[in-house]
C-alpha cells in the first residue's frame, strides 16, 4: 500500500506484515516491500516481545528464551498514568526503569550495494539497540527521530534479531538519564518504543538518512514578492561506497501536483557526505497564510545515476513571510495577526504517549474547534504526524526542546555530557522540523530559572551559560527563524533559586509563564496584576517581543463553586472547581487581548496531562489545567469561553452545565456570548437582559424553583440570533435545608446532605487545614480536628468580624454552626458573639473551652424565624478569631 511517510513527507512503499513460524525462542515476522523509484521502507510494528525490568547480557542473543514475555505492537509504552480518582488505582503504570523489546524478522533480500537503516521515530528516554547480538547504537533523548546504519550487522534475506533497551529512569546522579534533558518538569516521561519503527533500505549513495534524523533536504523561501518566490534548497548526500558522478534533481510542485520549478545539478560524490545548494524560482507564489489559507507546495529531491533513480525525498513547502515587532506584535505575510492559542502535551488518558494517528487528528480538531491559530508544542519535540497536521491546519507553532527546569541535578552549569545532549536534541528538532511552514520559532528552554522550585536540584543552578550556547546552536542551524524561551521567575522573587541569573533576553523572543489568580491567588486582582506586569516587562525590555507562554488554572468537572471569589484557592491540592478555572481565564484573556505588543498567548493547557507530581482537583497524577479532560471526552467551561470569544461568527453558550444539581435556591447564571447583550428566560419567565462585557454575561441571585429549571439564553449579533438551553435542578430548602461549607471554594455532599461552597459572605478570610505541597499531598504532618465530619474542617472562614446573608424561605428554622479553635494554644480571652437577624444567639463564647480544647469541633444550634426571605448571621470575636467550618439551616 502507498502511504505518506510522516516528517519526511515522502511517498513511501510500506511492506505488509505477516507472522510466520520461526525460531523456537520467538515469533519471526516476515517482511515484504515494494521496490521502485521511491524509498523502500518496511514497517516494524507487529510481533515484538516485551519485558519490563533488568535482564542478563544474554537478552541480546538469538537463543535467549523470551517465551514468557508479553507480545506487543509498536507504538508501545509500559506507562499508563493518571486517573480521575483521589488515589492511584491498580491500573496505574508509573514504573520508571528499563524495558526490553525483541523482534525477530525475516528480512527482505537486498542488492549488494544496499544499506540497511533502522528508523525509530522516538524511544523514551535512552535507547540502546542490538542487531543479531551486536550493539549498533545508543540514542539519548525521548522525543526525536533517530536512525542507525545497521548494515554491518544485518543479514539481508535471512532472519534478524532486533533488541531494544528503553530506559526512562528518573534522573539521578550517575544513572543513565542523569545527563539527558529534561532533568525534571511537571510532566511524566513515558518509557518505551512509543512511536513507529521501520527498516529503511537505501543504495550506498543516497540522500543522507543520518543527518540528525532529518530528511536530508531542507528548503526555505529566501525572497518572497507578489511576482515570485526564490526558494533555496540544501540537500545533504551520503555515499558509503566509491566516488560516483550523479545528478541531483529538485522539483517543486503545487497543491495540484503540477511542476512549478525545477533544478538539476551534476554531483561528483566521493565517499562521505556532501551538501548541495540549489536555487529555484516560483512565479506568482501562493502563500501559506495561516488559518485563512494554509496552502502548501512540495519539494522533491531525486538523486540519480543516469536513468536509474537512487533515492527520492519529498518535503512540504509553505511560502510565507513573518516578523515579530516588540510594539505591534506578530505579522504574517505583512498582515498583523493576534496569535491566540494553546499549549499541548502529547499524552492521552489510557494511551500514554503511544498515540494513534486518529488521536493526533482528534486533538487538532478540538484545537481548531476552539478557534486557536497557534500551538505551543510543550515541552519537547512532538510527533511527525502532529507537525504535519499543524501545517495543514495553518497553526503557527512554537517548537521546543526539553531544556526544562535547569541544567544540573547537583547545582552549577551542568556537565559537558548534558550540554552535548541538549545541543544534540536542539539540532535534531531543527533539522527534523525545518521544512514545516507552521514552525516559526525555536524554543531553547522552559522555566530553566525554576530548578529548585521543582526539586531538580537542591543547590542553585546556573542555566544561563547553556541557554546562551543553545542560542548559538539555533542560529547556526537556522538563522531564518527567531528563538524564544519561556520564563518562570523574572520579578517573582524566585531568582535566587538559580544563583540570581537573569535569563530573559537570551533568546530573540520571550514568553512569560504567569498564573495570576492561581499560583499567586488574588482572585479579584488577577486581571489588573497581569496587565500591569506585562506593561512593566514591555518597558523593561523595549526591544524584546513579548508573549504569554503559559497561563491558566486547575479545573475539575466534578467539583463546583457557587461563588468563585469567596473560598480558599488551593492551587496545589483539592478542590479545583471548574467554575474557578473558567473565571481565571475570563479575567486573564482580556488583559492579553488589549495589548498589541503581546504577540501571542498560549493557554496552559489544551488537555489535562500526566504528571506524577500532582494529586489535585478530582484526579491523581494529572495536571488538571486542561480546557478538555485527558480522555478528550469533556469540554470544560473554559473551553467554551474561548470558543465563543475567539469565534468569527455569533455564538453563545451557557456556563455551568456540569453543575446540574444546585446547592442553593438562587444562583448566578453565566453565559458566554460574542454579542453586546443577552436575554435570559427561566421556566418561561423573563429574567432580563444583561450586558456581555468581554464575552461574559451574568445574572446574579436568580431564584430557582425546586426541581427542574429550564433556562434559555438568546443574543443577537450582526443581525443573527443565537441561543442555548440548559436545565438546572433547584433544591427544595423546605425538605433539604441549606448548608454552607465555610471557607471551601467548592461544595460537597456528605451522605444525604449537600453543602454549597462558601457563599453569601462578607468579611473574614478563607483558611485551609492542610495545605497541599507540590509533588505531595501535604507539606508537613497533617493537622487534624476531632470532628464528626472531618471533611467540613478541610477549610473554614476565620476573622474577628464577618457576616452571612443567606436566602432562606420565610418560616421557623434551626441553624447549626460547626465551630472550632485551630490555634495550638487556645486564647484564654476569646469571646465569640453570633447574631441571627440582629439578635444574639451565642454570647461571649470561648470556643476552645466549650469544646474541651483546641482543634475540637463545637456544634451549636439555635432556632431562628426568617421573614423577607433572608437570614442574617453576624460573627464577632474579641481576644481571638471566629473559626467557622460550616452552617446548616434546616427545618
Q: Where are the domains of the chain?
A: 2-203, 217-317, 335-608, 666-730, 734-890
Domain 335-608 sits in CATH 3.30.70.100: no
Parallel, antiparallel, or unpaired for β 228-239 and 217-224? antiparallel
| Residue tagged active-site, from 447, 550, 579, 857 | 447
Q: Domain 734-890 maps to which CATH number in 1.10.630.10, 1.10.357.10, 2.60.120.1090, 2.60.120.430?
A: 2.60.120.430
Quickly count helices (H) and strands (E) in the chain: 9, 55
Question: What pLDDT does 40 receive?
Answer: 86
Question: Considering only CA atoms, which of 742, 741, 824 is closest in space to residue 783?
Answer: 824
Say if 2-203 and 666-730 have the same CATH topology: no
Reported as type and span, the H/E element at residue 641 is: helix 637-645
Contact 637, 377 (CB under 8 A): no
Decide yes or no: CATH 3.30.2010.30 for domain 666-730: no
Residue with cell 486518529: 358
In words, the CATH class of domain 217-317 is mainly beta
Rounded Cα–Cα distance for residues 419 and 458 (Å): 20
Q: What is the DSSP string of 116-144?
A: EEEEES--BSEEEEEETTEEEEEEE-SSS
Q: Is 447 a catalytic residue?
A: yes
682 and 702 Cβ atoms separated by less than 8 Å: yes
Alpha-carbon distance of 702 to 54, in angstroms, equals 63
pLDDT tens track for 621-643: 999 999 999 999 999 999 999 99
Residue 524 pLDDT = 81
With beta carbons less than 8 A apart as the criterion, state whether 62 and 132 touch: yes
How far is it, in rounded angstroms, from Cα 312 to Cα 708? Answer: 65
Residue that is written with C-alpha cell 469544646 in the block: 851
Contact assessment for residue 633 and residue 349, using Cβ atoms and an 8 Å cutoff: no
CATH superfamily of 2-203: Galactose-binding domain-like (2.60.120.260)
Q: With a cut of 70, list the residues of the chain below it in pLDDT.
A: 1-37, 451-455, 494-499, 772-782
DSSP 682-706: ETTEEEEEEE-GGGEEEEEEEE--S
What backbone torsions phi and psi does residue 459 show, to the nearest 5 degrees? -95, 150
Amino acid at each position: 500500500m502507498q502511504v505518506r511517510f510522516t516528517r519526511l513527507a515522502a511517498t513511501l512503499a510500506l511492506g505488509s506484515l505477516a507472522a510466520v513460524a520461526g525460531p523456537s525462542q520467538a515469533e519471526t515476522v516476515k517482511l515484504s516491500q515494494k521496490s521502485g523509484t521511491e524509498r523502500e521502507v518496511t514497517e516494524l510494528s507487529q510481533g515484538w516481545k516485551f519485558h519490563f525490568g533488568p535482564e542478563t547480557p544474554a537478552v541480546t542473543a538469538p537463543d535467549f528464551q523470551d517465551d514468557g514475555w508479553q507480545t506487543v505492537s509498536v507504538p508501545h509504552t509500559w506507562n499508563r498514568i493518571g486517573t480521575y480518582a483521589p488515589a492511584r488505582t491498580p491500573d496505574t503504570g508509573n514504573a520508571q526503569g528499563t524495558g526490553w523489546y525483541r523482534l525477530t524478522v525475516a528480512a527482505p533480500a537486498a542488492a549488494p550495494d544496499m544499506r540497511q537503516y533502522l528508523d525509530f521515530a522516538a524511544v523514551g528516554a535512552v535507547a540502546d539497540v542490538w542487531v543479531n547480538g551486536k550493539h549498533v547504537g545508543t540514542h539519548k533523548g525521548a522525543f526525536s527521530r533517530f536512525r542507525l546504519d545497521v548494515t554491518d550487522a544485518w543479514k539481508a534475506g535471512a532472519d534478524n534479531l532486533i533488541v531494544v533497551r528503553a530506559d526512562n529512569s528518573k534522573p539521578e546522579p550517575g544513572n543513565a538519564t542523569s545527563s539527558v534533558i529534561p532533568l525534571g518538569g511537571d510532566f511524566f516521561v513515558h518509557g518505551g518504543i512509543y512511536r513507529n519503527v521501520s527498516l529503511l533500505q537505501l543504495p550506498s549513495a543516497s540522500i543522507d538518512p543520518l543527518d540528525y534524523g532529518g530528511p536530508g533536504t531542507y528548503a526555505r523561501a529566501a525572497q518572497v514578492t507578489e511576482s515570485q518566490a526564490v526558494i533555496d534548497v540544501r540537500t545533504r548526500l551520503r555515499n558509503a561506497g566509491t566516488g560516483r558522478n550523479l545528478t541531483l534533481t529538485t522539483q517543486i510542485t503545487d497543491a495540484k501536483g503540477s511542476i512549478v520549478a525545477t533544478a538539476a545539478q551534476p554531483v561528483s560524490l566521493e565517499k562521505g557526505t556532501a551538501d548541495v545548494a540549489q536555487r529555484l524560482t516560483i512565479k506568482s507564489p501562493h502563500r501559506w497564510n495561516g488559518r485563512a489559507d494554509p496552502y502548501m507546495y512540495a519539494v522533491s529531491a531525486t538523486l540519480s545515476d543516469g536513468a536509474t533513480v537512487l533515492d527520492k525525498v519529498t518535503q512540504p513547502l509553505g511560502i510565507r513571510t513573518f516578523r515579530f515587532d516588540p510594539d505591534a506584535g506578530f505579522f504574517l505575510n505583512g498582515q498583523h495577526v493576534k496569535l491566540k492559542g494553546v499549549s499541548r502535551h502529547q499524552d492521552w488518558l489510557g494511551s500514554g504517549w503511544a498515540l494513534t494517528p486518529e488521536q493526533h487528528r482528534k486533538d487538532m480538531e478540538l484545537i481548531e474547534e476552539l478557534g486557536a491559530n497557534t500551538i505551543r508544542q510543550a515541552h519537547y519535540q512532538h510527533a511527525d504526524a502532529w507537525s504535519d497536521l499543524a501545517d495543514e491546519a495553518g497553526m503557527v507553532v512554537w517548537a521546543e526542546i526539553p531544556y526544562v527546569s535547569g541544567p544540573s541535578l547537583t547545582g552549577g552549569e551542568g556537565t559537558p555530557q548534558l550540554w552535548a545532549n541538549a545541543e544534540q536534541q536542539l539540532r535534531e528538532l531543527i533539522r527534523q522540523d525545518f521544512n514545516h511552514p507552521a514552525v516559526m520559532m525555536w524554543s531553547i528552554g522552559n522555566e530553566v530559572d525554576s530548578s529548585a522550585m521543582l526539586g531538580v536540584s537542591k543547590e542553585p543552578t546556573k542555566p544561563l551559560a547553556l541557554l546562551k550556547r543553545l542560542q548559538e546552536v539555533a542560529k547556526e542551524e537556522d538563522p531564518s527563524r527567531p528563538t524564544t524561551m519561556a520564563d518562570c521567575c523574572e520579578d517573582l522573587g524566585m531568582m535566587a533559586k538559580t544563583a540570581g541569573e537573569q535569563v530573559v533576553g537570551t533568546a530573540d523572543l520571550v514568553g512569560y509563564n504567569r498564573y495570576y489568580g492561581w499560583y499567586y491567588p488574588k482572585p479579584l486582582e488577577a486581571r489588573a496584576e497581569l496587565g500591569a506586569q506585562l506593561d512593566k516587562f514591555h518597558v523593561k525590555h523595549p526591544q524584546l517581543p513579548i508573549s504569554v507562554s503559559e497561563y491558566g488554572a486547575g479545573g475539575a468537572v466534578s467539583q463546583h463553586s457557587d461563588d468563585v471569589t469567596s473560598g480558599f484557592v488551593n492551587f496545589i491540592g483539592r478542590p479545583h472547581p471548574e467554575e474557578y478555572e473558567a473565571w481565571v481565564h475570563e479575567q486573564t484573556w482580556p488583559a492579553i487581548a488589549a495589548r498589541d505588543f503581546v504577540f501571542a498567548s498560549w493557554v496552559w493547557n489544551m488537555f489535562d496531562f500526566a504528571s506524577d507530581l500532582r494529586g489535585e482537583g478530582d484526579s491523581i497524577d494529572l495536571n488538571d489545567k486542561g480546557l478538555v479532560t485527558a480522555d478528550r471526552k469533556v469540554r470544560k467551561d473554559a473551553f467554551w469561553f474561548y470558543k465563543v470569544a475567539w469565534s468569527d461568527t455569533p455564538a453563545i453558550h451557557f456556563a455551568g452545565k456540569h453543575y446540574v444539581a444546585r446547592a442553593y435556591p438562587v444562583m448566578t447564571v453565566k453565559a458566554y456570548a460574542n454579542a453586546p447583550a443577552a436575554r435570559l428566560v427561566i421556566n418561561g419567565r423573563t429574567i432580563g437582559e444583561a450586558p456581555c462585557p468581554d464575552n461574559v454575561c451574568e445574572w446574579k441571585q436568580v431564584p430557582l424553583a425546586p426541581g427542574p429549571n429550564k433556562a434559555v439564553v438568546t443574543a443577537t449579533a450582526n443581525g443573527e440570533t443565537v441561543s442555548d438551553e440548559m436545565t438546572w435542578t433547584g433544591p427544595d430548602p423546605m425538605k433539604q435545608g441549606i448548608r454552607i461549607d465555610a471557607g471551601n471554594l467548592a461544595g460537597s455532599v456528605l451522605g444525604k446532605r449537600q453543602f454549597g461552597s462558601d457563599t453569601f459572605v462578607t468579611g473574614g478570610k478563607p483558611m485551609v487545614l492542610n495545605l497541599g505541597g507540590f509533588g505531595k499531598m501535604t507539606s508537613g504532618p497533617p493537622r487534624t480536628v476531632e470532628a464528626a465530619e472531618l471533611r467540613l474542617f478541610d477549610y473554614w472562614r476565620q476573622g474577628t468580624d464577618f457576616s452571612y446573608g443567606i436566602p432562606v424561605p420565610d418560616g421557623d428554622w434551626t441553624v447549626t454552626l460547626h465551630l472550632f479553635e485551630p490555634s495550638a494554644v487556645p486564647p484564654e480571652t476569646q469571646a465569640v458573639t453570633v447574631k441571627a437577624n440582629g439578635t444574639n444567639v451565642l454570647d461571649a463564647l470561648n470556643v476552645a473551652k466549650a469544646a474541651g480544647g483546641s482543634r475540637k469541633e463545637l456544634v451549636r444550634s439555635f432556632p431562628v424565624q426568617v421573614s423577607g426571605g433572608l437570614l442574617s448571621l453576624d460573627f464577632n470575636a474579641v481576644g481571638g478569631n471566629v473559626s467557622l467550618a460550616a452552617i446548616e439551616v434546616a427545618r
